Amino acid sequence: MKIVHAASELYPYMKTGGLADAVAAMAGALADNGHEVSVFLPGYRAVLEHKDAAGAVRKLRLKIEMGDQFLSGDIRVFSPRKNLEVYLICREEFFDRRAPYGNGERDFEDNSDRFVFFCKAVVETLRLADLQADVVHSHDWQAALLPLLLRESERRHRVTLALKTVFTIHNIAYQGLFPATTFARTNLPDELFHIDGLEYYSQVNYMKGGILFADRVTTVSPRYAREIQTPEFGCGLDGVAQTRADDIVGLLNGVDTAIWNPAVDTLLPARYSRAEMKGKEICRAELLKRVGMAANFTGPIFGIVARFADQKGIHLVLANRDFLLVENCRWVVLGSGDKRLEDEMRALAAEAPDKVVLVAKLDEAMSHLIEAGSDFFVMPSLFEPCGLNQMYSQVYGTVPIVSRVGGLADTVTDADEFPGTGTGLMCEPNAGSLGDALERALVLYADKRRYSAVQQRGMARDFSWKVAAAGYENLYREAL
Ligand code: ADP
Ligand code: GLC
């Protein structure tokens, strides 16, 4: 099949979270299976500076209609691996920036324009380069207008640009909500600014467009597909999601085992596997050393790697301060984002610098070291569309402690509830229940044989993208 993806992040070129990993692994797995895959990505500064993009050739120069203006853009193309081409949508004014969505605290003010431009440029490229896609698959709000803009262009130009469109919701909490005045920039017919179209309480909602107008809609875990149809998790789009109930499926993300695999991970000081765990101890010692803690510590190390956003339940960890300060444990926290959460975590770490360390930055190598060197990985999310770190943790023999929501519930089994099959510990997304799970972690850690059995079962799980990619292939075929 000829498959076109469009997303605002793609590992290793631009990443703020799991979207980048998921799109890269999905595209890569489909390319490995022999499909012709293209991924469209904004030409951010970091991407253009990446060595892979050095040989990118300019393929097209576009003029994109935005309201009553025409804005130009360049399309550059490079191929990082067999069967895979990356199309960069370049326009300095919009994308020649360090960060993709905003500067620290605030989103960029022109985000509505930037991502309308992005989607329109994808459509124009499909048309002018005559790519003849079987499937156009877009991800999250930044690419959510693509299915609708594509059909509109087909109607206008009387051509077929894609046989089917697929839209994947990686996180329904981010919707791309903009003032009504921005609707004009889409050049869509006025009747689409309506309750059955992009209009949402007098604003424009991009994600709503993706849910309503794609031929198929997916979420990144089966449980999240059901959750988004409820008021508790739908973030106001539950009613919209319900209208597509028959066309929404949940396909679990996988783990890219070329990158996240302790047996080959070059970002670690030592490698290890189920059969040979010595390397994990070296990683543990290195982790303690790296954050300035004594290497002879024998109690449990709890690791956290997360965007600091309300979603991740960092405040639930902070609410368990007594546990962190009193129990015989160490905490290594890698994360940044919400300044209030950062400050509170920093204050906690300052109270007990020998026990708690916060590394408040983006650090890919450190994220691998925490996954490898910790004994437990803590992820008490309030909601979690899929979550990758709880899967990485199991692969790295680090027992995950997660809340029973979304993809976390689909990928972790509680070891107290299911002693024969458990791979982690689960709690409800509240401070008390997390505290209880942390206590259970101490008990588990004290029982070396049981801890090792839980660890080994996690490492034996197959989270590879083979399964996940087959799910998408079936979906595409069935849609076609
Ligand atoms: P989300 O996409 O909601 O942030 P996921 O669990 O799907 O959550 O993916 C998060 C990804 O981002 C993981 O690959 C994780 O290792 C990475 N990550 C998060 N924070 C950091 C950080 N501070 N430094 C490096 N990687 C990080
Ligand atoms: C989103 C979600 C996360 C998911 C990731 C990749 O960022 O928050 O749960 O794993 O997308 O699909």
Average pLDDT over the chain reads 97
Residue whose Cα lies nearest atom 10 of ligand 2: it is: 387
Antiparallel, parallel or unpaired: β 425-427 and 356-359: unpaired
The confidence score (pLDDT) of residue 105 equals: 77
Q: Residue 166 to residues 373, 415, 465, 479: CA-CA distances in angstroms?
A: 38, 37, 19, 9
Name the CATH topology of 278-460: Rossmann fold (3.40.50)
- Please report where in the chains the tokens 């010595």 appear, as a residue: 278
Asked whether 387 lines ligand 1 (CB < 6 A), one says: yes
Q: Residue 98 to residues 43, 83, 92, 94: CA-CA distances in angstroms?
A: 11, 29, 12, 11
Residues 232-243 have a mean pLDDT of 98
**Could you read off the pLDDT of 334-368 as tens digits, one per residue?**
999 999 999 999 999 999 999 999 999 999 999 99
Using alpha carbons only, how large is the chain's radius of gyration in Å?
23
Q: Which residues line ligand 2 (CB under 6 A)?
A: 17-19, 22, 170-171, 220, 253, 384-388, 407
pLDDT above 80 for 457: yes
- Asked if the domains 2-254+465-479 and 278-460 are classified in one and the same CATH topology, the answer is yes
Domain layout of the chain by residue ranges: 2-254+465-479, 278-460
Distance 141 CA to ligand 2 centre (A): 13
CB atoms within 10 A of CB 376: 25
Residue whose Cα lies nearest atom 26 of ligand 1: it is: 364
How far is 204 from 202, CA to CA, in rounded Å? 7
Distance 389 CA to ligand 2 centre (A): 10
Distance 32 CA to ligand 2 centre (A): 23
Share of the chain above pLDDT 90, in %: 97
What stretches of 58-105 show up as alpha helix (H) in DSSP? 92-95
pLDDT above 80 for 302: yes
The confidence score (pLDDT) of residue 319 equals: 98
2-254+465-479: CATH number? 3.40.50.2000
Instruction: Evaluate if pTM is beyond 0.75.
Output: yes
pLDDT above 90 for 103: no
The confidence score (pLDDT) of residue 205 equals: 98
Distance 335 CA to ligand 1 centre (A): 8
The confidence score (pLDDT) of residue 104 equals: 73
Distance 93 CA to ligand 2 centre (A): 28
Asked whether 335 lines ligand 1 (CB < 6 A), one says: yes
Range with the poorest average pLDDT among 36-40, 52-56, 457-461: 52-56
Residues 180-199 have a mean pLDDT of 97
Asked whether 393 lines ligand 1 (CB < 6 A), one says: no
